[in-house]
Amino acid sequence: MSKKNLAILLRARMRSNNSAKSSLSQFPKEIPSNPQENHSGDHHIVRNSSDLDTRGRVYDVVRETMHSAISASKTGVSDITLNDFQEGYSSLSLEDRGKLLLALAKEYDVNREQVRELIKQYLGLETPSSDDALSSVFYRIEWNLRHALKPTYESFFERLNTHPGGLRFLSILRADLLSILTKENTPSLRTLDSYLKEKLGMWLSPATLELHQITWDDPASLLEKIVAYEAVHPISNLLDLKRRLGIGRRCFGYFHPSIPGEPLIFIEVALMETVAQTIQEVLWDNPPIPENQSTCALFYSISSTQPGLAGINLGKFLIKRVITLVKKEMPHVSTFATLSPIPGYMQWLLSKLQTQSRFAEEERGGTESNPTSSTFSEQVLLPEEEQALMSLSDDSSSGSNGMEVLLNFLTQKNCDWATSPRVLPVLEPILMRLCARYLLQEKKRGKALDSVANFHLQNGAMVERINWLADRSEKGIHQSGGIMVNYVYRLENIEDYAQSYFGSGQIHASPGIHSRL
């Protein structure tokens, strides 16, 4: 899963800074305030300064434990020290964690004296031309240089990883780090994050992940996590959860052996007669058809659970493996499709309309004050769309051109346009056409701009159909004008499509979508 994608799935949690809270809740140990001064309100100032002292001392202890854990010999670090560090870290405030991570980044960095010494030796040797004794020296120095360039904290991460519970701890630590980086984006912290991310990506390679079907028979402690982490279509209560796992539905998760009882990512599947066009069709209370009459498995929700694993592609192979499992259980299912949100559509469209209507305004003024406007200006709307929009222009949404009118409608509070019988039919063809353009033609570094599109395309899907007013919720209207998209996975094409997307950024789409452009 791409960084963008995860960021979107997790936006709600990351924003409310729940990540730090939830990681703290894993470690019930809290530093008690001084009990002797806790009974009276008279000693407010004293108590506060004493609290600060206590906190300072606790920080120093954790800092010291970290130092012991890092400076012990490679295999001599004890489980107790690592345990103490994990517990101590978890008892710190986010502020103190930030301080500690900065110390880690700066004081346990690369040993640069050693690097310079090895570089000197390295440059003194000739690149070997044959496999002789001299080349042996060269290879050794090169190996040593490579390892000297490894920051000390990287070895510390490796130690933590081999410690029971360490991988989970590191994922919490990275969630903190990402949260701190939003406020204090320094080069040393960014580098710390790059190394940690690289390590986590290696340890969580698809080879180590296990796919399990999650059912109502699973432990409540696991199921509550599904409720907590379901990011796409929130689960309201236990009955709702039971339905998600019951007849006509399936739920699969990727698990890692050292983070037991908690999927890193999970996917929900509904068994349908045809590919659903709206979420209402999917979120039924009672199965619309018996399972053995289903021909389509619809992936209607994919959620990541660990904010600390943002940017690490956990979804690779997930869909392919789920398809294999479903196909094995139900050979009568022949279509594998999604009903997906288009999380970036409105954001892109509004920004495009703002820029272009300003350019249009400037050009109309004929001042030519801004030479970039003519270079970057484009016709966002077709002439007939322009006309239709201008004819809608009234008090509630006026504008000097079609783009401005559209912009005003889309930014109305309460999204009134979406319930107006007068406006809706005019906006439908325009928003649908621009949505097809957004999905098929808007790219960043050669990949689809939309994070969910990018996720499915790199997994080998094609864009099959876009559906008008498929999600009428406030969030749906706000994100994508209520439009949702069906991606389809065709078994015979998955491999080819994934590869051509990776290789040349080619996006496969149905003729129906192409005809909208």
Which residues carry out catalysis?
340, 456
From CA 490, how far away is CA 310, in angstroms rounded?
28
How far is 147 from 122, CA to CA, in rounded Å?
13
Nearest to 233 by CA among 248, 222, 219, 244: 244
User: Closer CB to a copy of itself, residue 34 or residue 78?
Assistant: 78
Q: Which of 458, 474, 319, 470 is nearest to 4 (CA)?
A: 458
Q: By the 8 A CB rule, do 81 and 65 touch?
A: yes
Residue type, 275: V
Query: Applying CB under 8 A, which of residues 16, 42, 75, 286 lies at the interface with a copy of itself?
Result: 75
Residue 506 sits in the site that holds a copy of itself (CB under 8 A)? no
Contact characters 258-297, a copy of itself, x per CB under 8 A = x---------------------------------------
Q: Which residues of 210-239 are buried (b: 16+ CB within 10 A; e: fewer)?
A: ebebbeeebeeebbebbebbbbbbebeeee
**In the complex, least distance from residue 499 CB atom to a copy of itself, rounded to whole angstroms:** 5
Nearer to a copy of itself, 149 or 432 (CB): 149
d(CA 48, CA 31): 14
Residue 182, interface with a copy of itself (CB under 8 A)?
A: no
**Segment interacting with a copy of itself (CB under 8 A) among 14-22, 360-368, 491-499, 508-516:** 491-499
Near a copy of itself by CB under 8 A: residue from 111, 208, 377, 493: 208
**DSSP class of residue 420?**
-
452 membership: H or E segment, kind and range? helix 451-458
Q: How far apart are CA 516 and CA 437, in angstroms?
A: 8
Q: Which of residues 246-265 bind a copy of itself (CB under 8 A)?
A: 256-258
Considering the rule CB under 8 A, would residue 174 count as an interface residue with a copy of itself? no
CB of 242 to a copy of itself, least distance (A): 29
Determine if 68 is a binding residue for a copy of itself (CB under 8 A): no
Specify whether the backbone of 327 is left (phi greater than 0), alpha (psi in -120 to 50) or beta. Answer: alpha
**Least distance to a copy of itself from the beta carbon of 109, Å?**
9
Q: Which of residues 93-122 bind a copy of itself (CB under 8 A)?
A: 106, 110, 112, 116, 119, 122
Closest distance between a copy of itself and the C-beta of residue 183, in Å? Answer: 14
Tell me if residue 392 falls in helix, strand or coil: helix
Among 373, 451, 454, 458, binds a copy of itself (CB under 8 A): 458
Q: Which of 85, 89, 203, 266 binds a copy of itself (CB under 8 A)?
A: 203
Minimum CB distance to a copy of itself, residue 258 (Å): 4
Measured from the CB atom, the residue of 206 and 248 that comes closer to a copy of itself is: 206
Nearer to a copy of itself, 50 or 493 (CB): 493
Q: Exposed (0-12), middle (13-18) or buried (19+): which is 124, by Cβ within 10 Å?
A: exposed
Contact call for residue 127 and a copy of itself (CB under 8 A): yes
Please state the three-class secondary structure of 198-235 as a single string. HHHHHHCCHHHCEEEECCCCCCHHHHHHHHHHCCCCCC
In the complex with a copy of itself, which residue's Cβ is closer, 458 or 467?
458
SS3 state of residue 380 = coil
Spatial distance between the Cα atoms of 436 and 288, rounded to a whole number of angstroms = 30
Q: Which of 207, 286, 292, 413 binds a copy of itself (CB under 8 A)?
A: 207
Q: Pattern 314-333, binding to a copy of itself, x per CB under 8 A?
A: --xx----------------
- E strand or H helix at 485: strand 484-489
The distance of Cα 442 from the centroid of its chain, to the nearest Å, equals 20
Q: Select from 45-53, 301-309, 477-485, 494-502 the region that touches a copy of itself (CB under 8 A).
A: 494-502
Which residues make up the interface to a copy of itself (CB under 8 A)? 73, 75-76, 78-80, 106, 110, 112, 116, 119, 122-123, 127-128, 131-133, 135-136, 138-139, 142-143, 145-146, 149-150, 158, 161-164, 166-167, 186-191, 194, 202-203, 205-210, 256-258, 316-317, 458, 495, 498-499, 502-503
